[in-house]
Structure 1
Amino acid sequence: MYAIVEMAGQQFKVAKDQKVYVHRLQAEEGKKVVFDNVLLLADGSNVTVGAPAIDGAAVEAKVVKHLRGDKVIVFKKKRRKGYRKKNGHRQSLTEIVIESIVAKGAKKTAKKEEPKKAAAKPKAEKAAPKKAAKADDLKKIEGIGPKIAETLVAAGISTFAELAKTDAAKIAEIIADVRGNHVTDTWPAQAKLAAEGKWDELKKWQDELDGGKA
């Protein structure tokens, strides 16, 4: 009597007391294993073919030992490219011996029940972070160039409203390292008009300014 059975991802033709080398199994040495994906059974002239597996059939085996197969050399080369690569590989195997072939009523190996994980406590919903105010184009203020605008944003002043609330002296202190002579006296007032959307009034005033100076 023999059977064709799938073991560790491979198909084998096995008979009682036969030794078989399969891909490494997780079972310990000396333990019994049962393979229930039997594809074909043959007992003399009686042949049973599964569709795809035979219900109730199984192959029982015992783990003899774990070992590694012979080294296989893998050599790759590309012509006229100077490419050469050589690797060695030894497959991890398990030696098993077939103890019996069960045609019907095979007991499937009981899967170890994984310890139930404690129900995860629902995480307290984090308060949605406040959306940062959308940055304004501070360069629309007469006297503010790209470098100054970048410096102000780095200091936490990114909107017209924030600039309007900042004292001119404080602004001058923030941009002290920016090269050039900058007069910040009108910037808060300009920013206030911009924040309020009074663009016509701001444009008219800026036409009278020179680099931010009145």
Structure 2
Amino acid sequence: MYAVFISGGKQYKVIKNQIIRLEKLKDPIGKIINLDQVLMISSENSTQVGNPFIKGAKITANIEKHGRLKKIKIIKFNRRKHYKKQQGHRQSFTDVKIININYISGES
């Protein structure tokens, strides 16, 4: 069984016990969160697609850790114009572990 959901403006496909890296969430480490913007759930014998979301579907996840990625350098340069601009960026993230994918079929 797998599900597709939205978090931070991006879509993710997950299965149970998978660790996935999301955009930074404000919740503390160890907190159990519910992701309720589920677009699709697929099991061995059926597939449910939302319009846009599935009513009664939620994904339960545990926040594992917060962190920041490696720094990337942004360089803008115009030759022969005496112009050079440098900037750096580190993206924040949250790792979550998918505990369960719940779907109550009577609510659609």
Is there any run of 5+ residues in structure 2 with no aligned partner, and where?
Answer: none
TM-score w.r.t. the length of structure 2 is 0.88
Q: Identify, as 1 or 2, the structure richer in strand.
A: 2
Structure-to-structure mapping, 1:30-49, within 5 angstroms: 30-49=30-49
1:31-180 matches, cutoff 5 A:
31-104=31-104
Q: Is 1:24 matched up with 2:24? A: yes
Greater helix proportion = 1
In structure 1, list runs of 5 or more residues that go unmatched.
106-214
Larger radius of gyration: 1
Root-mean-square deviation (Å): 1.5
Give distance in 1, aligned partners of 2:66 and 2:4.
23
Q: CA deviation at 1:23?
A: 1.1
1:66 is aligned with what amino acid? H
Structure scoring higher RCO (CA < 8 A, sep ≥ 6) equals 2
Alignment: residue pair count: 105
Name the CA shift for 1:104/1:80 in 2 (closer, same or farther; >3 Å).
farther
1:137-174 alpha-carbon deviations (Å, 9 max, x no partner): xxxxxxxxxxxxxxxxxxxxxxxxxxxxxxxxxxxxxx
1:16-47 deviations in whole A, cap 9, x for unaligned?
A: 11111111111111000001000111112422
| Structure 1 consecutive aligned stretches of length 4 or more whose deviation exceeds 6 Å | none
Separation of aligned partners in 2, 1:40 and 1:80: 53
